[in-house]
Structure 1
Amino acid sequence: MIEMTPLNGDRDDDRNTRLLPTFKKISTKQSPAQKPLRSSLWLDSWLFEWITLTFSVACFIAISIVLWIYDKKVRPEMAYGLSLNTIVSVLATGCKSALVLVIGEAISQLKWQWFQDPKQRQGQLIGMQRFDAASRGPLGSLMIVIHHRAQSLVSLGAAIIILLLAFDPFMQQILSYPVHPTMDTSTTASAFAPQLRGFILQDNPGTPIIELDGNTLGDELDDSFTQGFFSRQDFSVPPHCSSGNCTWNEFSSVGICSSCSDMTSTVLLDCKLPPRTEAFNRTCKLSFPGSVVQEFRFTNTFLEDTPVLEHLSEIIWKPMDMRVQLRGLLSEDSDGYVFNLPNYTLAGVTNPLTTVAYVKLGLYHTPLSPNASVSDGLYIKNATGCSLSTCLRNYNILVKNGEPSVQIGDIDFGTIYLKHPGATLYRAEIGDDGGYANPLCWMPGPPDAAGYEETRDFAFCHGRMYLLGEVRSYLPPTKGVSWAFSDTYGMWYRFSEGSGEDYGGGELIMKQLERVGLEKAIANIAASLTKHGLEITNHSVNGTVHVTNVFVNVRWPWMILPGLLVLLGAIFLVVTITVSKKSHIPLWKSSALAAYYHGLEKLEDGDNDHDELKTASTMEKKAEEENVRLQRSEKNGRLVLRQQGASEVDPAPSTRMSSSLSSLEQHPQRERDSTLLQLVEPGSVNTNFETPSKKRTAAHPAYADPSMPSRMLEAYVE
């Protein structure tokens, strides 16, 4: 609507202002042919909602496809700094936003069905506000669910909107990025672990290994024995790994192993001694079943009529030793003796390269009687037997973040063979290189009736395996003790103690042995010898080099709720469309114009509007033509939107009228009146300059305004 600005009226000779004539409004409304046609397809159908729902489903499917493609894969490096989280977040936002729009429109449509259903008892006008609030957000949805007690169809849509609050948090929990190592195939990658396929010492037949008056053990084994006995270091050899993360398949390697067992119940003590009242010097014997006998002495003397008993309290010896067995042939004057394996077993190992036994003797302080044998008071406190021999073990090696982990499997002590079983040895051959005259051979697995097989994997022969018997030289000597008998108390008491052998530093070594125990000491020596072999070996096992990469891990259970919400949203839309069609409800959805054109009708309102404007598109077209103003109602004074009539003015007549009115100021009074009358259509001039009638006021609300000057010119468009 075009409102004309007030014009100055003409003044007469008495200087009274004369109100110019009132004009009718000149319509400038376009004809239907001139106005562009608007398609009602979006407003009067569910096409837009179907497209929006399809977009929501497509976004969810796209999320699923993207996650499926990158699941368990290395995290992708995308252009422009994009990340997988960004893509999922954008798609999730589109999915959720489209779903909210669809659910909101469906709830708005159910509003009209709710008030049309005669079965509804809750038809209060406030329901319009509840439905409108439910279509806008979770708070309104929660309120309508409570108000309807979750028993209406709209409650399903409201519940979906409420649950959509968890849509984004669930989508954020789908992706995680664990760090895993992957294979490094670059040329600089390297991983290898040392492997022994033979004896711990390199084969050098030119080096003498046995001499009549000593040994040629050398510094290499000397250091290994010493470190094994005294050191607390880790004797494993770390593998080489270029990246700090490497793996190896399980592999086998030769080494030196030990096995110990408690022999307290099986040790044999052969000792027959006179009573303490006699002086004596007797020999006693210790042995394990089938082993070499160890002899030691008991002496009883008198110090001022006090018996003093001296004997060995801690005895260490070798129950069986391959080198001792071989060197025993040298005691004969003639040549031509056959060396056979002793077939001796200790601690589960048959024919070990060497053995060590430790026995601790005790003496009861109170004798049975003065005439009882001293040997009756002797007892074995404890006895331990250990075997030391070649073995084969399985290794599982892993390097993670630069820290190696070496897991060693079960031990296979294999079987010892002679390279030339039954061969006759002569004194000359048993000399400096006697070990190579008939060297020892070793092969994994149980004894084979076919004997030694040189082609067997990890099978080897080596003359220097005899040298392991030298381990006894690095253990402490036997330890002696002296007892004196007190007639006053009638019991033995410790008189003194010391080394039973002339051995430098024996007390220090014995304390070390007592601290760690024989089993641990022998195990450390075996580990030290194996370490020495691994450090000088030329064999190795290649591993796999890994580099640390970040992977994509999709936690699929977090997709369940978003997927269900999309599915329920689609079902809710289909049900809403079905209910709307069956109820023959106009498709108004969330149109704000429906309440205007089909608003509240009071019982006393007698107006009858036959133009129902049933569709949203016709209401929108009509709204473009309607002019309303928020004013007080003439009936009851309420603030209402009052219809004002057509508001579009033809620009050509308006311009012409404005131009003519402007030119009036340049002509005399009579000419201005004549010109003004020509501009006005016949019958449009209000010749009554008094206050407009009630009927005129009702037709033209502008006249009802008492503040309007009587000289103002108004134009109204019919």
Structure 2
Amino acid sequence: MKWRLTYLRHLVSAGALVIALGFMIEPFLQAIISDYERLVDMDASTLNNSRATIGKSSRFDGGTQCVSKYQSRYPKVETTPDFAISASFFDGLNTAATHGYQNVSFTCMSGNCTWGEYASIAIRSTCFDISSHLKRTNLEESTDTTTSISRKASQATRNTETVDTRSPAASQTQSSAKWPDWTLEHLNLTLSNTAAKWREANTFSVLQAAVVADPNLTLNFKDSQTLLAAFTTIRADDSSVLGSADWDAAPASAMECGLELSLNVYNSSVVNNVLVEHILASASHKVPGSWLPLANFNQDDLHPDGLEVDPGTLESNSIYHHTFLYRDDYALDPDALQRNISGQFKITQRTIQSTVDFLTSLIRPDNDNATVKAVTQGDQPALYIYGSPILQPLFSQTDLNTTFDAVARGMSNAIRNLGAEPMLGTTQHLVRYYQVRWAFLALPLSLITIGTIFFILSIIDAHRAKVPNWKANSIATMVHGPDELLQRELRTKSHAHSLAIASETLAKLEWFPDGYALTAGQQSAAKISRPTTPVRDEEEHEMGAMRPPTSPQTPGSNVTLVEPQSGVGAERGGSRPVSPISPRPAWSSNQLQGVMSSFR
């Protein structure tokens, strides 16, 4: 008997363990299968003509060039820049003003593509602060002296312009202010405010600009072999009222920004239809032996006798020359990149000549067109009138480094888009992968195993006890529950009384040779009750008809219930005898069929 009770406790514990593990199984089931997406290269043979491409240029040829010697001592060279180059320059200025971004043309059918490292001809911008080179000069008093800006006649490619501003405050300080001149001596470029006619007209010069193609006329590009043009600006102080003492005492600033031919190494990719590019390396070195006058071409008639000709040398040969000679292509050196880049990268003479002429023509020395004035009337704000369109972004945008970066990027994109052989890339598409993590199957499999064992043991135990198997029916509880006498006494009790004595009821499920039965103490005749209904007698009659015959109680079936170790019983230290509820033996098959037929 003791072993039997221990076995039952272990069996019940196994069932509780199965239920507890059931609450933990959900997270493990979710963790068994995981998925992720990965970009996978597509087979190029399946793409036909829809392969990934991006702009790349290894030979830049654009613009026109015409040389005429008709009735002229010097050859006249007329050029027209490539429209894409000129448009990209102004587009870069506009992009800098609107804080936008330009992309090179690309083709990517799936929206996800990659390209390996590749080199392309491009434009590079570099800006330097040259304010320390400014020289200030003042007039001791207002005079009729006019300070002019001198220019060298031989510097055909250097041009200057002036931005002027008028302010009502100037009329209050004409006689006392010592307005300054700011000069860059290497360019002979002066931002002048000492001219009497300007002072009398309350006109202030706030910006002076120049553009040159000769590296010798620059401070930071003297050794450059690829300089196309250098833009220099002198800007007056704009934090004080024009003409005031603070404005007069504030220093001016100067910037020098150059645009150079370069060879850039790009790393490009398209992710979700968005182009992402990085410049891995950049170099601006000419291939020795390129950009030299054509050897097999008679060029004597291009220059008069005695005119200095600068053909260039193998070691140093910049783009700019004082005279025109027919030359071979300008080649950029890929070895200067110090990367695994091979091939030839060339720019034709007409392309270089037309681009340089376009850049240097943006600021001309014509004072009628170069001067920008600001006219005011009363308390109205100054109205700026720009003689040249290029001066407006140079004056309105204080960060010239950002401005020329946008210009260089726009021109580089135009050069790459004009390339005849775009860079081919790899098209990718998203593939979803599913991964099974087998370790998380341990708990579900353990739960299934323990549950199966518990189910089998329950069947074996029920089979040994010869207890009929009932499914979703209360007949088994009613038939094998308390005996008829106890049921009658329970029915006579009111529901309220049954609830009152429920806590005092002592009942126990015991094993008898003929099966399981409930036993109760003698003083607690009614331990379980239910409400009385008008059909109670009819139910009792039906229960009596269905109940199987009872067998006499065996002497060994008496059960002694032990009182809890508290109260009076605990003090006596003894036990009291109880009368067991008569156990119900297992039914025969005929009896079971009779009961089931009564419910059909």
Q: TM-score with structure 2 length normalisation?
A: 0.55
Preserved contact between residue 108 and residue 427 of structure 2 (Cα < 8 Å) = yes
Deviations 1:518-555 (A, max 9, x none): 33332333223222222221112221222333211335
C-alpha distance in structure 1 between counterparts of 2:587 and 2:235, whole Å: 123
Aligned AA for 1:632?
A: T
Preserved contact between residue 299 and residue 311 of structure 1 (Cα < 8 Å) = no
Deviations 1:678-716 (A, max 9, x none): xxxxxxxxxxxxxxxxxxxxxxxxxxxxxxxxxxxxxxx
Deviations 1:20-64 (A, max 9, x none): xxxxxxxxxxxxxxxxxxxxxxxxxxxxxxxxxxxxxxxxxxxxx
Give how far 1:434 is off.
2.9
Matches of residues 390-539 of structure 1 in structure 2 within 5 Å?
Answer: 390-401=261-272, 403-416=273-286, 419=289, 428=302, 434=324, 436-437=326-327, 440-444=330-334, 446=336, 457-463=343-349, 464-469=351-356, 470-474=358-362, 503=387, 506=388, 509-517=390-398, 518-539=400-421
Q: Relative to structure 1, is the Cα distance of residues 243 and 208 closer, same or farther in structure 2, using a 3 angstrom cutoff?
A: farther
Identity of aligned residues (%): 15
Give how far 1:360 is off.
0.4
Deviations 1:613-635 (A, max 9, x none): xxxxxxxxxxxxxxxx8333444
Matches of residues 21-170 of structure 1 in structure 2 within 5 Å?
Answer: 115-116=2-3, 130-135=9-14, 137=15, 141=16, 158=17, 162-167=20-25, 169-170=27-28
- Three-state SS of the structure 1 residue aligned to 2:236 is strand
Q: Relative to structure 1, is the Cα distance of residues 273 and 640 closer, same or farther in structure 2, using a 3 angstrom cutoff?
A: closer
Give how far 1:394 is off.
2.9
C-alpha distance in structure 2 between counterparts of 1:408 and 1:239, whole Å: 15
C-alpha distance in structure 1 between counterparts of 2:328 and 2:250, whole Å: 42
Q: Relative to structure 1, is the Cα distance of residues 196 and 645 closer, same or farther in structure 2, using a 3 angstrom cutoff?
A: closer
Q: Relative to structure 1, is the Cα distance of residues 495 and 404 closer, same or farther in structure 2, using a 3 angstrom cutoff?
A: closer
Give how far 1:317 is off.
0.9
Give how far 1:591 is off.
2.8
Aligned AA for 1:245?
A: N
Q: Relative to structure 1, is the Cα distance of residues 207 and 195 closer, same or farther in structure 2, using a 3 angstrom cutoff?
A: farther
Partner of 1:249: 116
C-alpha distance in structure 2 between counterparts of 1:534 and 1:365, whole Å: 48
1:360 to 214, 235, 242: 235
- Three-state SS of the structure 1 residue aligned to 2:61 is coil
- Three-state SS of the structure 2 residue aligned to 1:465 is helix
Q: Relative to structure 1, is the Cα distance of residues 397 and 645 closer, same or farther in structure 2, using a 3 angstrom cutoff?
A: closer
C-alpha distance in structure 2 between counterparts of 1:645 and 1:438, whole Å: 117
Partner of 1:292: 187
C-alpha distance in structure 2 between counterparts of 1:223 and 1:644, whole Å: 103
Give how far 1:254 is off.
1.9
Q: TM-score with structure 1 length normalisation?
A: 0.47
1:268 to 134, 145, 149: 134
C-alpha distance in structure 2 between counterparts of 1:433 and 1:216, whole Å: 18
Query: Does 2:41 match 1:183?
Result: yes
- Three-state SS of the structure 2 residue aligned to 1:252 is strand
C-alpha distance in structure 1 between counterparts of 2:283 and 2:380, whole Å: 43
Partner of 2:549: 631
Q: Relative to structure 1, is the Cα distance of residues 272 and 358 closer, same or farther in structure 2, using a 3 angstrom cutoff?
A: closer
Preserved contact between residue 31 and residue 437 of structure 2 (Cα < 8 Å) = yes
Preserved contact between residue 512 and residue 583 of structure 2 (Cα < 8 Å) = no
C-alpha distance in structure 1 between counterparts of 2:133 and 2:322, whole Å: 36
Structure 2, gaps ≥5 residues long: 69-73, 151-181, 304-308, 310-320, 468-509, 515-546, 554-578, 591-600
C-alpha distance in structure 2 between counterparts of 1:446 and 1:343, whole Å: 24
Give how far 1:397 is off.
2.5
Q: Relative to structure 1, is the Cα distance of residues 382 and 562 closer, same or farther in structure 2, using a 3 angstrom cutoff?
A: farther
C-alpha distance in structure 2 between counterparts of 1:288 and 1:446, whole Å: 33
Aligned AA for 1:317?
A: A
- Three-state SS of the structure 1 residue aligned to 2:187 is coil
Q: Relative to structure 1, is the Cα distance of residues 447 and 116 closer, same or farther in structure 2, using a 3 angstrom cutoff?
A: closer
C-alpha distance in structure 1 between counterparts of 2:380 and 2:586, whole Å: 127
C-alpha distance in structure 2 between counterparts of 1:261 and 1:554, whole Å: 59
Give how far 1:216 is off.
2.6
Partner of 1:558: 440
Q: Relative to structure 1, is the Cα distance of residues 287 and 553 closer, same or farther in structure 2, using a 3 angstrom cutoff?
A: farther
C-alpha distance in structure 2 between counterparts of 1:548 and 1:412, whole Å: 33
- Three-state SS of the structure 1 residue aligned to 2:126 is strand
Give how far 1:280 is off.
0.9
- Three-state SS of the structure 1 residue aligned to 2:409 is helix
- Three-state SS of the structure 1 residue aligned to 2:416 is helix
Q: Higher Cα Rg: structure 1 or 2? A: 1
Q: Relative to structure 1, is the Cα distance of residues 563 and 345 closer, same or farther in structure 2, using a 3 angstrom cutoff?
A: farther
C-alpha distance in structure 2 between counterparts of 1:380 and 1:643, whole Å: 115
Preserved contact between residue 302 and residue 308 of structure 1 (Cα < 8 Å) = yes
C-alpha distance in structure 2 between counterparts of 1:357 and 1:560, whole Å: 75
Aligned AA for 2:205?
A: L
Q: Relative to structure 1, is the Cα distance of residues 523 and 380 closer, same or farther in structure 2, using a 3 angstrom cutoff?
A: same
Structure 1, gaps ≥5 residues long: 1-111, 118-122, 142-157, 326-340, 369-375, 449-454, 485-492, 577-586, 603-628, 648-718
Preserved contact between residue 374 and residue 385 of structure 2 (Cα < 8 Å) = no
Q: Relative to structure 1, is the Cα distance of residues 386 and 588 closer, same or farther in structure 2, using a 3 angstrom cutoff?
A: closer
Deviations 1:372-428 (A, max 9, x none): xxxx94654332221101122232322334x13231224513214674689798661
Give how far 1:515 is off.
3.9
- Three-state SS of the structure 2 residue aligned to 1:412 is strand
Partner of 2:207: 314
Preserved contact between residue 179 and residue 551 of structure 1 (Cα < 8 Å) = yes
Aligned AA for 2:209?
A: I
Q: Relative to structure 1, is the Cα distance of residues 528 and 199 closer, same or farther in structure 2, using a 3 angstrom cutoff?
A: farther
Give how far 1:273 is off.
4.0
Deviations 1:591-623 (A, max 9, x none): 335446995479xxxxxxxxxxxxxxxxxxxxx
Give how far 1:192 is off.
3.1
CA RMSD of aligned residues (A): 5.2
Partner of 1:198: 58
Preserved contact between residue 279 and residue 302 of structure 1 (Cα < 8 Å) = yes
Partner of 2:574: none
C-alpha distance in structure 1 between counterparts of 2:106 and 2:354, whole Å: 28
- Three-state SS of the structure 2 residue aligned to 1:522 is helix
Deviations 1:472-521 (A, max 9, x none): 4346976556999xxxxxxxx99988668xx3xx3x65443344443333
Deviations 1:180-208 (A, max 9, x none): 3322225235323234343543498x765
C-alpha distance in structure 2 between counterparts of 1:562 and 1:287, whole Å: 86
- Three-state SS of the structure 2 residue aligned to 1:395 is strand
Aligned AA for 2:270?
A: V
C-alpha distance in structure 2 between counterparts of 1:343 and 1:515, whole Å: 24
1:547 to 421, 424, 429: 429
- Three-state SS of the structure 2 residue aligned to 1:408 is strand
- Three-state SS of the structure 1 residue aligned to 2:302 is coil
C-alpha distance in structure 1 between counterparts of 2:62 and 2:194, whole Å: 48
2:103 to 226, 231, 236: 236
C-alpha distance in structure 2 between counterparts of 1:280 and 1:467, whole Å: 41
Preserved contact between residue 347 and residue 387 of structure 1 (Cα < 8 Å) = no
- Three-state SS of the structure 1 residue aligned to 2:394 is helix
Q: Relative to structure 1, is the Cα distance of residues 396 and 212 closer, same or farther in structure 2, using a 3 angstrom cutoff?
A: same
Aligned AA for 2:91?
A: Q
Preserved contact between residue 254 and residue 458 of structure 1 (Cα < 8 Å) = no
